[in-house]
Amino acid sequence: MSENRGKFTLEAAEAYLAEEPDMQVEKLSNRLFTISDGQCRTIFIAGESGVIAFDTFGTPGRARAYKKAIEATLPGQTINAIVYSHDHLDHAGFAADLAPDAEIIADELCAKVIKCREADGQVQPTRVLAGERNEINVDGVDLVLLNPGPTHGSGNMAAYFAEEGVLFSSDTILANAKYGFMPDYHFANFVKYMRGFLELSWDRFVPGRYEMTNRAGFERGIEFVDDIMTACQQAFANFVPIWLYDPMKGFVGQQLGEKYGDLEGFDGHIGQMSIRIVHHYLMGGWGLEDTPEPAVLLEDKVSL
């Protein structure tokens, strides 16, 4: 296989890894842009001497398409820095194909997972941040990077642009109901941490997938997750066989259909979302991330 393969072992995966889709770029300000491959979404920003790209998209082909789209948007500029929003390969797996020599900025937990994962094409961060809020200057751009605690994936950092009134937080809240599988979401504190972002002043939200939304859409997205969490607990109280897809889809769909049935993807995804979230209550969570004091994770047991 000539492509970086992430964690794939099958030669046949090459066709998937190599595809370069059309990318849609949208200008948010004179310096800030959002870009989507039709499924995942991220941002990039022009610095004084080059570009700061958030994430890489999820295959070598998509990383190359990302690079070409940046070059078309900001001709003559090179990508000098990459910020990983979190560790997942579908967002941050292919810096080797985007800009292998760039400075790579990530939260320390994200960096530790990447080091231990050893995925082909996922470049190790060169600048590691810790704590809930980091204000750093990269290539003349003041970045505010926020990690209130485990929300999704490892070391998930949101980015706040006060000047633009924009918040970017990957794979957390969506403007629709189209991400039902919800692996590696940490529900113990998820709603609390998401509501914390509302203390900041912004009116445009850039999610890690699909379309952008505004503050009201973000608040509704939080409420949607909160209400699924409630409905999943009610499933236990009603002795729904929570490990079965159809009964869970039926029960939670019935509970929430009136309030959220208009959300794109509701019918197709509410069953999966319910199966995932109900297991948070069945099992108690997804490891140490889902404990009341997840900061224990930051104990320095993996050295970089």
Least distance CB 89 / Zn ion (angstroms): 9
Q: Which of 153, 155, 217, 285 binds Zn ion (CB under 5 A)?
A: 153
**Residue closer to Zn ion (CB basis): 50 or 285:** 285
Least distance CB 251 / Zn ion (angstroms): 27
Least distance CB 41 / Zn ion (angstroms): 12
Q: In DSSP terms, which residues pair with 78 in a beta bridge? A: none
**Residue closer to Zn ion (CB basis): 150 or 153:** 153
**Residue closer to Zn ion (CB basis): 55 or 108:** 55
**Residue closer to Zn ion (CB basis): 58 or 294:** 58
**Residue closer to Zn ion (CB basis): 4 or 151:** 151
Letters for 69-108 (x = contact with Zn ion by CB under 5 A, - = none) are -------------------x--------------------
Q: What residues between 162 and 191 interact with Zn ion by CB under 5 A? A: 171
Applying CB under 5 A, the residues found at the interface with Zn ion are 88, 153, 171
